[in-house]
């Protein structure tokens, strides 16, 4: 079967992202490597460096004004993950180093930052003018000022003033089938608004991503609900039992109105499905 690299720009992302995602997929496909991990990491790195996405540069701020990011990579029998990592440019690259250079699966918080520095990743502030403005509007909203905000802020406030039900958007992810082997990678700045220390589905194997000998799956959407259903492993264990697109559609629609999307590759298929808009990019080659 041909090699395939499939990217997503997050559940809720619109088609304005499509050209960029196709370009990133195409650029990555020109790599000489035969390792699927290299392809998913490089494509996610490109998305992390694009301030349009809520991952790496451009990650959203938490309620306290800090930026904490999550990322993970996975291949058959091997996982690397970071959560609540701060002041690095490319969390997905740190996650790869966790997998390749340590006996651990996940590093979090200041431990993840110290590891990143030891691996040569320099101090970096991912704040952008866009995310600073989003945070200022959120603060004004919580202080009772009338400001124009996305609908998700109103829902959040209705649920519980400050510590409510978070929603997120613009998580980035990639799955690849290269030479018959599979890999998955995901990165996110989290949701806005959210508490410091909150961890969503992205860095959790089985929830935000899963890869094995039969394929690779990456999720995006409301992290808490994705975790509760262990969405990616739930999909992975059914790969090969029926058409891949049918599996994705059924699993996503089981969430009802909860924002969810997914991309996946198997031995002979690839597919994506979301219950909202979700920009994707793809490249295939012999």
Of the candidates 28, 57, 131, 171, the residue annotated as catalytic is: 171
Residue 171 among the catalytic residues: yes
257 conformational bin, left if phi > 0, alpha if psi -120 to 50, beta if neither: alpha
Whole-number Å distance between alpha carbons of 2 and 158: 49
Residues 6+ apart with CB under 8 A from 150: none
DSSP state for residue 180 in the 8-state scheme: T
Whole-number Å distance between alpha carbons of 205 and 237: 13
Give me the residue label for tokens 């790869």. 96
Q: Which residues is 82 bridged to in the sheet?
A: 71, 107
Whole-number Å distance between alpha carbons of 168 and 186: 14
- Residue from 235, 244, 201, 205 nearest 221 by CA: 201
b/e per residue, 209-237, with b = 16+ CB within 10 A?
bbbbebbbbbbbbbbbbbbebbbbbbbbe
Give me the residue label for tokens 């306290």. 64
105 conformational bin, left if phi > 0, alpha if psi -120 to 50, beta if neither: alpha
Residue pair 83/112 in contact (Cβ under 8 Å)? The answer is yes
Burial of 146 (0-12, 13-18, 19+ CB in 10 A): exposed
Active site residues per annotation: 171
């Amino acid at each position: 079967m041909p090699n395939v690299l499939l990217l997503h720009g997050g559940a809720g992302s619109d088609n304005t992202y499509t050209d960029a995602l196709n370009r990133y997929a195409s650029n990555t496909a020109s790599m000489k490597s035969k390792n699927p991990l290299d392809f998913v990491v490089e494509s996610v790195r490109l998305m992390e460096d694009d301030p349009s996405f809520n991952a790496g540069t451009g990650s959203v701020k938490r309620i306290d004004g800090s930026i904490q990011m999550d990322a993970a990579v996975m291949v058959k029998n091997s996982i690397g993950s970071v959560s609540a990592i701060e002041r690095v440019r490319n969390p997905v690259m740190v996650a790869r180093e966790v997998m390749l250079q340590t006996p651990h699966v996940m590093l979090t918080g200041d431990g993840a930052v110290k590891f990143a520095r030891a691996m040569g990743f320099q101090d970096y502030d991912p704040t952008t003018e866009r995310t600073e403005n989003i945070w200022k509007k959120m603060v004004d909203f919580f202080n009772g000022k009338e400001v124009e905000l996305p609908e998700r802020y109103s829902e959040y406030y209705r649920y519980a003033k400050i510590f409510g039900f978070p929603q997120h958007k613009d998580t980035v992810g990639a799955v690849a089938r290269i030479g018959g082997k599979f890999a998955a990678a995901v990165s996110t700045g989290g949701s806005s608004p959210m508490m410091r220390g909150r961890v969503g589905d992205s860095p959790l194997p089985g929830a935000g991503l899963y890869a094995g000998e039969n394929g690779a799956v990456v999720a995006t959407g409301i992290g808490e609900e994705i975790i509760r259903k262990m969405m990616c492993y739930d999909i992975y264990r059914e790969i090969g039992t029926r058409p891949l697109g049918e599996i994705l559609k059924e699993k996503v629609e089981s969430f009802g109105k909860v924002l969810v999307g997914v991309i996946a590759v198997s031995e002979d298929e690839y597919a994506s499905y979301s219950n909202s808009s979700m920009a994707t990019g793809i490249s295939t080659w012999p």
